[in-house]
Structure 1
Amino acid sequence: MKPQSYAQTAEPSAPVRYKGWVVAGKLAITLLTLGLLWHSVVADAATAAAWRGLFTRTLGGQGRGAVLAALLLMPLNWGLEAWKWWWLARHLEPVSFRRSFRAVLVGLTLGFVTPNRVGDYAGRIMELKSRRLDALGAVFLGRYCQLVATVAAGTVGLLYFLLRFYLPGYPAAQLGVVVLTLLINVGILLPLYHSELLVAAVQAVKPLRRFSQYLAVMPTYPAPLLTRILLISGLRYAVFCLQFGALLWAYGVQAAVGPALAAIAGTFLLKSLVPSLNALADVGVRELSATHLFGLLGQPVLPVLSASLSLWVLNIAVPSAIGLIFVLRLKVLRKRRPASSPPI
């Protein structure tokens, strides 16, 4: 499959006077990120306790293998995200996997300090040399594929809890939630393969009409490529579940595998459905969801809380700190070049 490419005329480089603002912006992002990391990992008592527990179990005998497995899965997690972005970005311009990985880390760091992680968009598009506006639609498409995987697994997980704990003895209601689960999954999968419907819906709503130009690139992605990206999203979701499961086991959670997976899937779904002000707000949503669902399984709060906080530290806090290295080296102002088609 040959990625599409559209030539773009070169634009003059930005005036030198703007470079000072770029440097100031990078320093501001660095200081803000470090401040949030300190507040969340060190100053916050709950996260600091979980972090100390993580080190204790890593250095000691208790849970060492499980914690090390979760640590080793961290680069695989973000490597899969970089692979997904590589497929999305090369549809727009020639791009290497190394640049894709760097873009993901930069986006993660910028998303750490922005509402609802919108900085992830900026981080990725600034790593491209052309078609940056189209890249907004590409980033949205990648996040939507990840949402499809999260909803597919999460609705099944929550269905387990509804049928077992909330609706026993109500067969009509049980049938209703099963049908609703199927409809939700069909409803969220349909716009992925028929994104022209989504673009048309955005154009029909006047306040959202200005965003339609950014989503116009989505229908140009062929179905086989979308399926590949969806499969990668599913693999990444599985890595998340393995990490969470390993940390839960390390902290002493002893729920059966099936119900534990349902609780993990339900936790991820509830977290993804709640908008957040920044990455720190995700922590509260995930912890509240996890402790409630695992509480229904008879598990104590503290081990679940510690495992969930440790998962956030491993997958968000640590990679965000690493991404600062690339933020400081990021070329925000660059002269655009015509995009040429990469080799098949």
Structure 2
Amino acid sequence: MLSPQSYVQTPEPRPAPARRRGWVIAGKLGITLLTLGLLWHSVVDNEATAAAWRGLLARSLGGQGRGPVLLALLLMPVNWGLEAWKWWRLARHLEPVSFRRSFRAVLVGLTLGFVTPNRVGDYAGRIMELKSRRLDALGAVFLGRYCQLVATVAAGTLGLLYFLVRFYLPGYPAAQLGLVVLTLVINLLVLLPLYYSELLVAAVQAVKPLRRFARYLAVMPTYPARLLTHVLLISGLRYLVFGAQFGLLLLAYGVRAPLGPAAAAVAGTFLLKSLVPSLNALADVGVRELSATHLFGLLGQPVLPVLSASLSLWVLNIAVPSALGLIFVLRLKVLRRKKPAAAPAA
């Protein structure tokens, strides 16, 4: 006997309105033009960066400094590959996601962050690559950036401690001991919200102006401590790669500071740069250069090679990947169709 036929029609997915698609296309083109304009201004039109870029190319193609520059260049995909690995570990807690898609999300976020205040476009670039739980993804992006901040603070406070003890407080053992204790306290206070994120969420809820952000951070306590430790280790490894790139470029430009003090100067530079909010990625340049030239100046190193190495680091790790990310921005699916609801049984 034939079963009764169901005449309930499954609704077809409705395409996004043409007007919305037009806005999306206009937005992508606007981001592309703005990114290209900033890249031109920062890499070609800006005299200091253009000189550093020409010096980087000369050292890459010539004999002097070719080895260190090429090594730093080879570490660029390693640097952002580690960031993609970190995001992959965080994102797959929310939904199944491939490493390839995670890498693409990181490049898109880098490009969008290039043209937005304090790099907030990084959040948008990553969550738009996810198919669901985009609200929770905001908390996941924040968690990844916070893990990187923990690594930066841990190394940077030790680096600044070296300079404070050696150059500013010699002969004051009590003050030096106080700084050591303060450094330990700062690192513990920074590490605490990572493993006890429910305290962070409660603190955000308790402050009225910040209360609206609590729902974005609510996903953080769902991450197990073991996963957080893995992400923190990846952040530390990425920090070492980034520091090694800076060291190689310093070597290529002729900076010859001892390894220990140079590592302290690099760590202090990264920390000071991370603590200062910026209007966009281009604004980071001045903060990093000012910090680097001051700290390496205390080590007796000339300003110009340090400035050139620092600007070249920005070109390698921000400008070039941001330009590559434009390819994925133009192909980004901003509007996703909702899945049709299942038809009721006849």
Q: So what's the TM-score if we normalise by structure 2?
A: 0.94
Q: CA deviation at 1:271?
A: 0.1
Q: Write out aligned runs for 1:103-122 (5 A).
A: 103-122=105-124
- Between the aligned residues of both structures, percent identity stands at 86
Q: CA deviation at 1:335?
A: 2.1
Q: CA deviation at 1:256?
A: 0.2
Q: CA deviation at 1:336?
A: 4.5
Give the corresponding residue for 2:179. 177
Answer yes or no: is 1:163 the counterpart of 2:173.
no
Cα distance in 2 for residues equivalent to 1:12 and 1:178: 62
Q: CA deviation at 1:17?
A: 2.0
Cα distance in 1 for residues equivalent to 2:77 and 2:65: 20
Q: CA deviation at 1:16?
A: 3.1
Q: Write out aligned runs for 1:131-146 (5 A).
A: 131-146=133-148
AA paired with 2:75? L
Give the corresponding residue for 2:343. none
Structure 2, unaligned stretches of length 5 or more?
1-12, 341-346
Q: Deviation string for 1:260-312 (max 9, x for gaps)? A: 00000000000000000000110000000000000000000000000000000
AA paired with 2:77? P
Give the corresponding residue for 1:288. 290
Cα distance in 1 for residues equivalent to 2:141 and 2:339: 21
Q: Deviation string for 1:100-130 (max 9, x for gaps)? A: 0000000000000000000000000000000
Give the corresponding residue for 1:312. 314
Give the corresponding residue for 2:276. 274
Cα distance in 2 for residues equivalent to 1:188 and 1:56: 42
Cα distance in 2 for residues equivalent to 1:13 and 1:82: 32
Cα distance in 1 for residues equivalent to 2:192 and 2:34: 39
Give the corresponding residue for 2:104. 102
AA paired with 1:150? T
Give the corresponding residue for 2:232. 230
Cα distance in 1 for residues equivalent to 2:323 and 2:185: 40
Runs of 4+ aligned residues of structure 1 deviating over 6 Å after TM superposition are none
Cα distance in 1 for residues equivalent to 2:243 and 2:103: 22
Partner SS state of residue 332, structure 2: coil
Q: CA deviation at 1:239?
A: 0.2
> 1:336/1:156 Cα in 2 relative to 1: closer, same or farther (>3 Å)?
farther
Answer yes or no: is 1:251 the counterpart of 2:284.
no
Give the corresponding residue for 1:193. 195
Partner SS state of residue 279, structure 2: coil
Cα distance in 1 for residues equivalent to 2:80 and 2:23: 30
Cα distance in 2 for residues equivalent to 1:178 and 1:314: 35
Contact 1:13/1:334, CA 8 A, preserved across alignment = no
Q: Deviation string for 1:288-341 (max 9, x for gaps)? A: 000000000000000000000000000000000000000000000002469xxx
Contact 1:130/1:336, CA 8 A, preserved across alignment = no
Instruction: Say which of 76, 82, 85 aligns to 2:84.
Output: 82
Partner SS state of residue 298, structure 1: coil
Cα distance in 2 for residues equivalent to 1:68 and 1:201: 46
RMSD across aligned positions (CA): 1.1
AA paired with 2:210? L
Cα distance in 2 for residues equivalent to 1:115 and 1:108: 12
Answer yes or no: is 1:91 the counterpart of 2:93.
yes
Q: Write out aligned runs for 1:10-89 (5 A).
A: 14-89=16-91
Structure 1, unaligned stretches of length 5 or more?
1-10, 339-344
AA paired with 1:21? W
Cα distance in 2 for residues equivalent to 1:324 and 1:195: 34
Partner SS state of residue 255, structure 2: coil
Q: Write out aligned runs for 1:192-211 (5 A).
A: 192-211=194-213
Q: Deviation string for 1:162-190 (max 9, x for gaps)? A: 00000001111101110000000000000
Partner SS state of residue 129, structure 2: coil
> 1:98/1:301 Cα in 2 relative to 1: closer, same or farther (>3 Å)?
same
Q: So what's the TM-score if we normalise by structure 1?
A: 0.94
Contact 1:129/1:337, CA 8 A, preserved across alignment = no
Q: Deviation string for 1:82-104 (max 9, x for gaps)? A: 00000000000000000000000
AA paired with 1:243? Q
Cα distance in 2 for residues equivalent to 1:213 and 1:304: 43
Give the corresponding residue for 1:301. 303
AA paired with 1:233? S
